[in-house]
Structure 1
Amino acid sequence: MDLASTISDIRKHKGLSISELTQDIISTSTFGRYITGTTDLHSQSFIEILNRLHITLPELEFIANNYSNNEEKEFMTKIMLSFTNQDIDYLSYLKTTCKQKLGSHNSFYDHMLGLIDILIARLDHKEIDVSDNPLYKYLIRTETWTRYELVLFSDSLIFWPPETVVTILKRAITTVSKLDKLNPYGLESFRLISNAITSLIFHHDYKNALYFIEILEQYQLRDDFIYEKLFLKLFTGFKLAILKKDAQVYQSYFDDCLAVIKILNLPTLQASFEAAIKDIKLAISK
C-alpha cells in the first residue's frame, strides 16, 4: 500500500473527517487529489498531516508495508543473522547483492558492503584495513547522527579495532545523547556507550573502557531504566576489578547483577554477563 492510501485508511480508522484532518493545512480538494495520486504535498504539509494523525513517518512506512520492515531493514537483519550463524557463503551472496545495487544511487548498500567485509573478516579471523572501508569512511565524516548511524555503529563496533571505536564514538557521542529526548523509554546514547565498553573490554583496551565507564556514571537513571542500571552495575564492577580493588567489593557488584537477571529470568543476558565477568577476571589475574 502506498503512503497516501495508508494515510487515508488511518484517518478513517481514527474517526477523523477530511476537514478535521486538513483544516489550516491544505484544502480538502488538495487532499483528495493527493489520495488519488494526481498531486503531491509540500513537505511541511505532509509533516503537519502526520502530526495531526499522531503518527511518525517510520510508523506510517511500517503500516504501509503491511506491518513489516522495509527492504533495507530486512536486508540488515539477513546480514546479522548470517553472521550469527557464521554463514560466510550467504554473507558473500549478500555482498554480491550489494554490489549489484550500488548503481542505484542508494548509499545504504555501499555501507552494507563495508559492514559485510568487516563481518567476513571477523569470521575468517583476518585483519581488515578500515581506512578504506566505506562504512568507516561514512561514519567518521558524519557530524550529525540519527538512528541510522546509531544502528550501523552499534551493530558493527564489536568488530572494529579499539582505536576506531574510540575515534568514532568520541565524535558521535554528543549528537547521539541529544537523540535520547526522542525516546522517553530508553537511552540510546547509554546503550551505545555500553556496547562500546563491551567491545573495548573484549579487545583488552581497559584504559578507554574506564574512560567511557566514567561517562556512564554521570547519567541520572530513572527507576524504570532497569537495563541501563544493570549494565552500570556490571561496569562499575569491571572498573573496580581493573583498578585492582578488593575482590569481595567488585564481586558483590557482579553477584547483584546476576541475582537480578536470574529473578527476571533473562537467560541470554545472564550468559552474556557471566562470560564477560569470567573474561575480566581472567584478564586481571594475569
Structure 2
Amino acid sequence: MLGKLIKKIRTSKGFTQAEIAKSAHISQSNYSKFEVDAIEIRATSFMMILDKVGLDLEEFEFIKNGYSYSDKRKLLIKFFYAPYNSNLKLKEIYNECELILNSRYDEDIKDIRTLCSALIHLNNDNDIEQARIPAFEIWDRLKKMEQLYISDIYLFNAIMFIFPLETIMETRNFIQKSIDRYKNFQNIDRMSINIILNLSYLYISNKKYSEALTEILNIEPKCKQLNAYIPLAICYIRKGICMERTGSEEQGKQWIKKGLNIVEVLEEEKLLEALKLELTL
C-alpha cells in the first residue's frame, strides 16, 4: 500500500522512477518492486523518498488515511483539549478508546482510557486519592523518562489534575524542556499554551496567585502572536483574578471584564459559564 501511494504522489509531481530511486540510494529495479508493494525498503530510504517528493511523514500519514488524521491521532488531540471536568466528554473519549482497543492494542490509547476513568472518578466522588490509584503507574513511568514525547505531553496535561500541585511543580522544568525540544514542531505553541493555562488554573485553585500570574504573563504575548483569542481571554481573566487576590482589585476587575467581553463576542457560552465559576474559586 505504501509503494502504490508513493507511485501516485511521484507521478502527480512529475518525477521518474530513476530520479526517486537515485535520491533514496536504491536500485531502480528494487524501487520498481517497492511501488507495486512487492518488497519493503529501509526506513532511511523511505524518508529520503518523502524528502524528494516534498512531504514529511505527518503529511504522508494524513494522505494515507484518506486526507484525515488517524483514529489514534484524532483521539489524542480530542483528549488533550477536552475539559477534564466534563464527564460527558470524558465518557465519550473513554468509549472511543474502548472501540480502538477492541480491535488492536495500543499503549497510548490504554493510558488515555485509564486517565479518563480516573478523572471521571474524581469528578463524581471528589476523592483524589482513589483517582490517583489507576493513574499512578502512568505518572511513575512519565517522571522516570529522560524526556517527554508528544503523546507523553498529552498524558501529562491530564495527569496534572490528579496529582498534588507540589509534585507537578517538581517536574515543571522537566516539562518545559521537553516542550522546548519541539519548538519547531507543528502546533507546539498552542499545546504549550494549553498546558500552561491548565497549570495556572491549578495554581489559582491552590491560592498560589503569584506563581499563576508569572505563568500567565509568560504566555500572554504568544497568545497575541498566534491570534489565539480564547486562550488570550482566559489569560486576561486569570490575570485579573490574581491581581484582585493580591491587592490590585480595580486593575484586576478591568482585566476580568476585558477577558469576559472577548468570550462573549466569540459567543462561547459554555466557556463563559465555566470562567464565571472560576471567579468564585
Q: TM-score, normalised by structure 1?
A: 0.75
State the 1:65 CA deviation: 1.7
What letter corresponds to residue 66 of structure 1 in structure 2? G
Give the match for residue 276 of structure 1: 275
CA distance in 2, matches of 1:76, 1:211: 29
Give the match for residue 10 of structure 2: 11
CA contact (8 A) 2:232 2:259 kept: no
SS at match of 2:23: coil
Give the match for residue 256 of structure 1: 258
Alignment of 1:36-185 (within 5 A): 36-73=36-73, 84-85=87-88, 91=94, 98=101, 104=105, 106-125=106-125, 126-127=127-128, 128=130, 130=132, 133=135, 134-183=137-186
SS at match of 1:16: coil
Give the match for residue 227 of structure 2: 226
Taking structure 1 as reference, are residues 76 and 181 closer, same or farther at Cα in structure 2, changes over 3 Å only? closer
Higher deviation after alignment, 69-78 or 165-174:
69-78
- Alignment equivalent of 1:197, drawn from 181, 195, 200: 200
Structure 1 residue runs of 5 or longer lacking an equivalent are none
CA distance in 2, matches of 1:48, 1:213: 46
Q: Once the two structures are superposed, what CA deviation does each residue of 1:194-242 show, in whole Å capped at 9, x if it has no partner? A: 12222443xx2122x6325314424553854222543433332232123
CA distance in 2, matches of 1:261, 1:109: 33
CA contact (8 A) 1:143 1:172 kept: no
Taking structure 1 as reference, are residues 226 and 50 closer, same or farther at Cα in structure 2, changes over 3 Å only? same
Taking structure 1 as reference, are residues 279 and 87 closer, same or farther at Cα in structure 2, changes over 3 Å only? closer
CA distance in 1, matches of 2:258, 2:92: 42
Q: TM-score, normalised by structure 2?
A: 0.76
Alignment of 1:239-254 (within 5 A): 239-245=242-248, 247-254=249-256
CA distance in 2, matches of 1:162, 1:68: 37
Give the match for residue 211 of structure 1: 211
- Alignment equivalent of 1:235, drawn from 228, 235, 238: 238
Structure 2 residue runs of 5 or longer lacking an equivalent are none
What letter corresponds to residue 7 of structure 1 in structure 2? I
Q: Once the two structures are superposed, what CA deviation does each residue of 1:155-190 show, in whole Å capped at 9, x if it has no partner? A: 454455434543444421111133232237844322
Aligned residues: 271
CA distance in 2, matches of 1:84, 1:3: 39
Taking structure 1 as reference, are residues 23 and 231 closer, same or farther at Cα in structure 2, changes over 3 Å only? farther
CA distance in 2, matches of 1:12, 1:241: 63
Taking structure 1 as reference, are residues 163 and 6 closer, same or farther at Cα in structure 2, changes over 3 Å only? farther
State the 1:84 CA deviation: 4.6
State the 1:142 CA deviation: 2.5
CA distance in 2, matches of 1:185, 1:176: 7
Taking structure 1 as reference, are residues 96 and 165 closer, same or farther at Cα in structure 2, changes over 3 Å only? farther
What letter corresponds to residue 18 of structure 2 in structure 1? S
CA distance in 2, matches of 1:123, 1:185: 29
Taking structure 1 as reference, are residues 33 and 95 closer, same or farther at Cα in structure 2, changes over 3 Å only? closer
Identity %: 15
CA distance in 1, matches of 2:89, 2:16: 53
CA distance in 1, matches of 2:96, 2:197: 32
What value does the CA root-mean-square deviation take over the aligned residues? 3.6
